[in-house]
């Protein structure tokens, strides 16, 4: 069900991109936007992991440097029937972990020193299993594609806004105005980027639920992951997760802005509410028993 929902949302996002291309230049514009998205996905596919790891100052560790962590990741990878990923540690007090890489054969798992101190062994194992769930479900590739397409749509919206400011034409109306021109501008500059963002966030939330379920199965202890999520949620409620920005929030194990704002913040969150995730993990634990 989650895979079907992801496919439908991704198809909708792609269709939105093509519709924008058609608005700009008919069939040629649609083809151009499609080619641009393919090229950007190609670059993201090959280099996104290196960009992310360098951005956070992650350092790769060996079995001699972090024997317990390497042993944990290795054991969970075997249970998940995945190749052993590279393991990185990020020196920060913020409790977080994420997975990256274009496919399971080129995956990396990163954890912060903060999360290693905040959680006990079983809870950390649940978090690592969740991240390996992202790798197993190829969420790192899906999120890269989605982010790239949404980024292209946002870029087009900004072009449309600047064109309007400087008196340029957005559509093919002969007079460049009229009701049709106004509606086209509203679609390109306002509605399209909002819709793209909401679809991107919807896909992200679906994949988080799926990674929780996979992680609970791999670790064999969904309640440990649930406990870890609650601890990290408490941290986010009382402290600012300094490394988080709207552009990087999907790299966090929970919504890093859960302590900021109200229902509107939740609407534009990359993660489902922690309470919902915990409830699903508790249900999973009952089924496993």
**130 annotated to bind ligand:** yes
Nearest to 60 by CA among 100, 83, 87, 92: 87
Q: Is 131 a catalytic residue?
A: yes
Rounded Cα gap, residues 231 and 126, in angstroms: 13
Helix (H, G, I), strand (E, B) or coil at 166: coil
DSSP string computed for 79-100: HTT-PPPEEEEE--SS--EEEE
CB 132 within 8 A of CB 218: yes
State whether the Cα torsion 142-32-160-16 is positive or negative: negative
- Of 131, 184, 243, 283, which is the active-site residue? 131
Rounded Cα gap, residues 186 and 189, in angstroms: 5
**134 annotated to bind ligand:** yes
**238 annotated to bind ligand:** no
Nearest to 278 by CA among 289, 268, 286, 270: 286
For residue 281, CA distances in Å to 5, 28, 120, 166, 187 come to 20, 48, 18, 53, 40
Nearest to 280 by CA among 231, 219, 232, 214: 214
Active site residues: 131
* Binding region for Zn(2+): 130, 134, 208
């Amino acid at each position: 069900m989650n895979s079907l929902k992801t496919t439908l949302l991704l198809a909708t996002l792609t269709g939105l991109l093509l519709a924008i291309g058609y608005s700009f230049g008919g069939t040629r514009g649609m083809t151009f936007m499609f080619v641009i998205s393919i090229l950007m996905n190609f670059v993201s596919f090959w280099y996104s992991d290196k960009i992310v790891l360098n951005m956070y100052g992650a350092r790769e560790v060996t079995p001699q440097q972090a024997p317990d962590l390497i042993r944990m990741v290795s054991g969970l990878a075997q249970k998940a029937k995945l190749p052993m990923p590279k393991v990185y540690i990020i020196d920060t007090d913020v409790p977080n972990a994420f997975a990256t890489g274009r496919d399971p054969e080129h995956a990396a798992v990163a954890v912060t020193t903060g999360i290693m101190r905040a959680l006990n062994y079983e809870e950390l194992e649940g978090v690592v299993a969740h991240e390996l769930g992202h790798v197993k479900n190829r969420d790192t590739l899906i999120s890269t594609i989605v982010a790239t397409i949404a980024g292209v749509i946002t870029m087009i919206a900004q072009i449309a806004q600047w064109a309007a400011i400087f008196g340029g034409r957005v559509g093919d109306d002969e007079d460049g105005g009229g009701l049709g021109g106004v509606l086209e501008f509203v679609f390109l500059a306002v509605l399209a980027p909002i819709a793209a963002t909401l679809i991107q966030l919807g896909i992200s939330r679906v994949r988080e639920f799926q990674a929780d379920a996979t992680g609970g199965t791999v670790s064999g202890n969904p309640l440990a992951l649930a406990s870890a999520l609650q601890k990290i949620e408490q941290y986010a409620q009382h402290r600012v997760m300094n490394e988080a920005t709207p552009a990087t929030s999907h790299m966090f194990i929970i919504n890093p802005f859960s302590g900021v704002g109200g229902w509107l913040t939740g609407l534009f969150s990359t993660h489902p509410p922690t309470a919902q995730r915990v409830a699903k993990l508790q249900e999973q634990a009952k089924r496993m028993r």
